[in-house]
Structure 1
Amino acid sequence: MLDLDSEEVLESCDLGGQPDSVAKAPDGSFLAIAIENQRDEDLGDGGLPQMPAGFVVKLPINNG
C-alpha cells in the first residue's frame, strides 16, 4: 500500500515472482495477479519446460 501524497510505502507483500498482469474482481473483493516467470533464453536454447512455472496469486481486498 502506498501513501500517494508522500509516496511512502506503507505495506507490501512478497508475491513469489515478477507480476505480469493484474485484474480486479467485478465486486472488488480480490485481485488476481499473474506471475509469468519468463524463461531463460540462454538455458537449453530457451526450450520448455523450465521451472519454476508461472502461477496466479489471489489477494483479498479489505476495506475497498
Structure 2
Amino acid sequence: MNSKESFRLSAEINTHNSALRIIKSKGYKIFLYPNITDELYGTYWAIKENRDFIAEDPLKLLGIITI
C-alpha cells in the first residue's frame, strides 16, 4: 500500500458478518436471542467452554471477547 493512500473502517452493519466470522474462527458458538422491540435484533451470545460473552451487536461481541 502506498503511504499516501488512506484507509478508513467504521463500526457499521456491513462489518457485522466479518466480526461473526472472526468469532466463529476462535471456536465460539454464536447465538442470537431475539428481542421483541424494533430497536435491536436481539442479544448476541458467544459461548465457548464455560465462557459466555453477551453484546447487542457482533462488533461489540468481538470487542469484549478480545478484552
Q: TM-score range by the shorter chain?
A: 0.3 to 0.5
Under a length normalisation based on structure 2, what TM-score does the superposition of the two structures give? 0.38
More helix by share: 2
Under a length normalisation based on structure 1, what TM-score does the superposition of the two structures give? 0.39
Over alpha carbons, which structure has the higher Rg?
A: 1
